[in-house]
Amino acid sequence: MGVMLRIITTRRQLAAMDDRMLKDIGLSRADAVYESGRLPWDIGPRAQ
């Protein structure tokens, strides 16, 4: 259960980042929207 809570928390933080912050970690806004919309139990690599 702790893993899912951590995933939910980090995905919410990712969604709250501004474009400058996302650029610093190498992600686009579209990447952040996609990742933050994933379900908590969807923890495998994202589909390309």
Q: Where are the domains of the chain?
A: 2-36
Supply the pLDDT for residue 48. 63
Residue with tokens 């259960």: 1
Contact 12, 39 (CB under 8 A): no
Could you read off the pLDDT tens digit of each residue along the chain, which spans 48 residues? Answer: 798 999 999 999 999 999 999 999 999 999 999 999 999 889 888 766
Residue with tokens 């996302």: 22
Supply the pLDDT for residue 44. 81
